[in-house]
Structure 1
């Protein structure tokens, strides 16, 4: 079982791990619907719901090695391309696609 904490911030909810893994952020914007749509943000309620679901999933057990690898690929890609603000939804979708590709390569 993985130890995680859910922390509320002014513009996001953070799922923080007890170990060395980087936190996962769920950003929201309730003030500007156009900005929310363009940047792939959640409403505050949806961000909280997504963060809780993610934390609950993480508490159930460690993610697969493929998913951990996928998150590392996404994080290094963000840094290499100077994309400090890639929406959590986009990062999660990208990591899941990489995970599925890695799983298909498994013998």
Structure 2
């Protein structure tokens, strides 16, 4: 899972991902209200608030579901029980996703 960081710059706040996705920028200008109004730029406080809300939303969106966590536990237990520590991560991930989907279909 990637890390999301909030970085302050002189005229913006950057929401940066460590997995190579492009950053999101929230620009502000407290000195020129006309420019802010014409270009739809935030005040510094509003930009920080928007950047934090965006980062929080991204973090929550990427949080694994309880079903996926359960599925990973099943896969890990299965690997240990059957001495399959060499199982490639891509196959283990596929198994976990299939188990997650099965669990989600059982949800009322």
Runs of 4+ deviating beyond 4 Å: none
CA distance in 1: counterparts of 2:2 and 2:46, whole angstroms: 23
Match of 1:101 in 2: none
CA distance in 1: counterparts of 2:43 and 2:2, whole angstroms: 27
1:76-107 C-alpha deviation (Å, 9 max, x unpaired): xxxxxxxxxxxxxxxxxxxxxxxxxxxxxxxx
Which is higher, the Rg of structure 1 or of structure 2? Answer: 2
Q: C-alpha displacement at 1:61, in angstroms?
A: 2.1
Unpaired segments ≥5 residues, structure 2: 63-108
Match of 1:30 in 2: 30
Match of 2:39 in 1: 39
CA distance in 2: counterparts of 1:60 and 1:50, whole angstroms: 15
- TM-score normalised by the chain length of structure 2: 0.55
C-alpha RMSD over aligned residues: 1.1
Summarize the alignment of residues 1-107 of structure 1 with structure 2, pairs less than 5 Å apart: 2-62=2-62
Report the number of matched residues: 62
Unpaired segments ≥5 residues, structure 1: 63-107
Q: Which has the higher contact order (CA 8 A, sep 6+)?
A: 1
Q: C-alpha displacement at 1:33, in angstroms?
A: 0.3
CA distance in 2: counterparts of 1:45 and 1:2, whole angstroms: 26
